[in-house]
Chain A
Amino acid sequence: MPTSAGTSSIRTRNEQVVQLILSDIFSHTAPSSTPRAVLLASVQSVGRRGALQRIRHHFSQIGEPPAQLSLDRLHLYASPKPSTEVVSSSYPRFDGDMSEMFVALVDEGIRRQVNLAVDLSDLPPPVADTVATRLRDAGYRAGAMVVATSEDQDRQASALYLDLDRSDAPPGQTLRSDFDRSHARIRALLQTLAARQLIDQLQVVTPQGQQLYATEADPVTGQVNERAAVYALEDFARRAALPREIAQSALRWQTLAQRLSAQQQMSRDLVAQVIAWRNEAVRKAEADPEAARWLSWGRAAEAFRVMDPQQLQREFPEHSKLVERLQDAERYALEHFPHLEDRARFLSQTRARLAERIAEGRSPMTKPSPTKPPRTR
């Protein structure tokens, strides 16, 4: 149990950190005469910051930049990453309750009358409820924005983040995330917000921000129809992928497996998980004749981008005509481009064009498919 002197010291330290958080969170914000709040609810952990920023960008364009609140941003003040400079045992940290802090920041936003972009996704349900209730009681117009995703997209985004983030910070959730549980949590949150009439707009969007569904509160009952939104969310998550999409997913997993397994410092458990997902995606693609064809074209195209002609000839004899064209291009480049850079650029463009033809199933040596390749979006 902390002594009274210890408690006082923590309080003083917390007050200092709280001032910093206030200063950071509310910098570059402006009050609004009709303040609004957008409550973000996302199954996918990677992409939430971007979604909040997209909301900020929208409000900024009308001259009312909002404050953004998310638990993961607050956590940085509780356990900042060690710096290469000025780090000591007295490093000030926030030791208070994060949920209380979150609600206090919402209250501060209300006091300042600024628009708010609030990530409710990870908040404990009672805290999310408190936040939405405070906003409604303060006269804010609040809308919920739900980001829909599929399990495969969610997994790939997490694995991609893991590869690109070369710092020590892990992505918001582990690769073994429970997609179904996250979905259930978001559904329950929407039901609460709708049933308690805490929102007057509801929108379902893709991770890239395209709208899938939108509705407003019924003017008589004051309630939004969250069932249709949940249907849109589920429909997006469970929709059957087209053969080409199945193949593209398998090709993306191939890249992730290749890149992550080449990283020495990467956890072998995570790599094993990514390889298992890659194998799963490849099995799925190979089980569908149309997807299997796209997959085989995609593999050959990727080889075409990187391998030398001799290797290509050995590995992909069915594309020998295009290999010959590549060799012709090499000879042409040697004769006509004295500068190495020009030669490399020309060959790189030629490779890319030939690879694209293979990926699209337009290689002259590719056996004609019994059915026409499907139209893709």
Chain B
Amino acid sequence: MESRYLRLQLDAEVCARAEAVCARKGADLVDVLRALVSQIAQSDTIPDTLAASPRSLTAEEAPFSRYDNDLWSASRTLVDADLALSVLDQFIAQRAHQLLEAKANRSPDVSLIARLEAERKQALGARALLNPDDADGIAQILRAYGPQAG
């Protein structure tokens, strides 16, 4: 019998989860895939479940990949508030140091200094007003200053 290699490139996490599922059922993922290919060839069709959902599960669609509001709302506000204050503090300290350095320059860049001053002042104002129980306000700060901010 002539054989042929089939190469698949899969998301590593999805692959690991599939292997774990197969292991729970006492099977090996490769054997299951081999059986699937045989089934498709013999039945001249693809199983209905796959036809209806040909896409593999992405990491975001997997169960427990998102913070469910019922389980997490209290801790999220608490931790988000801490994170928002942390990113503001980092931003403020960073701008303060940059200002020192910019001012120490032999030919100071006036527009740079003005921009840094304004940004620092704005962040200090935002920090002063932040209410740790205001989830929307915290989300705004994280959007503006957080790790994902542009």
Contact with A along B127-150 (1 / 0, CB 8 A): 110111100000000000011100
Q: Chain A residues near B74 (CB, 8 Å)?
A: 208
Contact with B along A8-48 (1 / 0, CB 8 A): 00000000110011011001100000000000000000111
Report the Cα distance A85→B94, complex, angstroms. 10
Is there an interface contact between B63 and A307, defined as CB atoms closer than 8 Å?
yes
Report the Cα distance A302→B140, complex, angstroms. 28
Report the Cα distance A90→B97, complex, angstroms. 10
Contact with B along A241-256 (1 / 0, CB 8 A): 0000000100110110
Q: Chain B residues near A167 (CB, 8 Å)?
A: 87, 90, 147
Is there an interface contact between B83 and A164, defined as CB atoms closer than 8 Å?
yes
Is there an interface contact between A50 and B81, defined as CB atoms closer than 8 Å?
yes
Contact flag A302-B75 (CB < 8 Å), given A48-B82, A83-B94, A209-B133 = no
Is there an interface contact between A50 and B132, defined as CB atoms closer than 8 Å?
yes
Q: Chain B residues near A73 (CB, 8 Å)?
A: 89, 93
Is there an interface contact between A299 and B90, defined as CB atoms closer than 8 Å?
no
Q: Chain A residues near B77 (CB, 8 Å)?
A: 208
Contact pick for A262, options B65, B70, B146, CB 8 Å = B65
Interface residue count on the A side (C-beta < 8 Å)? 68
Is there an interface contact between B86 and A165, defined as CB atoms closer than 8 Å?
yes
Contact pick for A17, options B59, B64, B100, B131, CB 8 Å = B100
Q: Chain A residues near B130 (CB, 8 Å)?
A: 53
Report the Cα distance A23→B94, complex, angstroms. 14
Q: Chain B residues near A139 (CB, 8 Å)?
A: none
Q: Chain B residues near A21 (CB, 8 Å)?
A: 96
Report the Cα distance A23→B100, complex, angstroms. 13
Report the Cα distance A207→B17, complex, angstroms. 35
Q: Chain B residues near A77 (CB, 8 Å)?
A: 93, 96-97
Is there an interface contact between A53 and B85, defined as CB atoms closer than 8 Å?
yes
Contact with A along B102-130 (1 / 0, CB 8 A): 10100000001000000000001101101
The B interface is mostly helix, strand or loop, or mixed, namely helix
**At the interface with chain B, which of A154-162, A182-190, A214-222, A339-347?**
A154-162
A134 in the interface (beta carbon within 8 A): no
Report the Cα distance A164→B132, complex, angstroms. 16
Chain B interface category by residue count: 35 or more
Is there an interface contact between B100 and A359, defined as CB atoms closer than 8 Å?
no
Contact pick for A81, options B90, B96, B99, CB 8 Å = B90
Q: Chain A residues near B89 (CB, 8 Å)?
A: 49, 73, 76
CB distance from A147 to the nearest CB of B (A): 10
A311 in the interface (beta carbon within 8 A): yes
CB distance from A32 to the nearest CB of B (A): 16
Is there an interface contact between B62 and A258, defined as CB atoms closer than 8 Å?
yes
Q: Chain B residues near A27 (CB, 8 Å)?
A: 124, 128
B53 in the interface (beta carbon within 8 A): yes
Is there an interface contact between A24 and B133, defined as CB atoms closer than 8 Å?
no
Is there an interface contact between A86 and B101, defined as CB atoms closer than 8 Å?
yes
Report the Cα distance A314→B50, complex, angstroms. 12
Q: Chain B residues near A56 (CB, 8 Å)?
A: 128
Report the Cα distance A164→B127, complex, angstroms. 19
A317 in the interface (beta carbon within 8 A): no
Is there an interface contact between B132 and A359, defined as CB atoms closer than 8 Å?
no
Report the Cα distance A16→B100, complex, angstroms. 8
Q: Chain A residues near B48 (CB, 8 Å)?
A: 310
Contact pick for B101, options A46, A51, A57, A92, CB 8 Å = A92
Q: Chain B residues near A16 (CB, 8 Å)?
A: 100
CB distance from A41 to the nearest CB of B (A): 17
Is there an interface contact between A157 and B79, defined as CB atoms closer than 8 Å?
yes
CB distance from A222 to the nearest CB of B (A): 32
Is there an interface contact between A156 and B75, defined as CB atoms closer than 8 Å?
yes
Report the Cα distance A20→B96, complex, angstroms. 6
- List CB contacts (< 8 Å) of A284-340 with chain B: 299, 302-303, 305-308, 310-311, 314
Q: Chain B residues near A314 (CB, 8 Å)?
A: 49
Is there an interface contact between A308 and B53, defined as CB atoms closer than 8 Å?
yes
Q: Chain B residues near A81 (CB, 8 Å)?
A: 90, 94
Contact pick for B94, options A80, A166, A302, CB 8 Å = A80
A109 in the interface (beta carbon within 8 A): no
Ranked nearest first, the 9 interchain pairs of A and B with the lowest CB-CB distance are A28-B128, A76-B93, A50-B81, A166-B147, A49-B85, A50-B132, A20-B96, A167-B147, A258-B64
B interface with A by C-beta (< 8 Å): 13, 48-49, 52-53, 59, 61-68, 70-72, 74-83, 85-87, 89-90, 92-94, 96-102, 104, 112, 124-125, 127-128, 130-133, 146-148
A-B contact pairs, 6 of them (CB 8 A): A20-B97, A49-B82, A51-B132, A86-B112, A165-B83, A251-B71
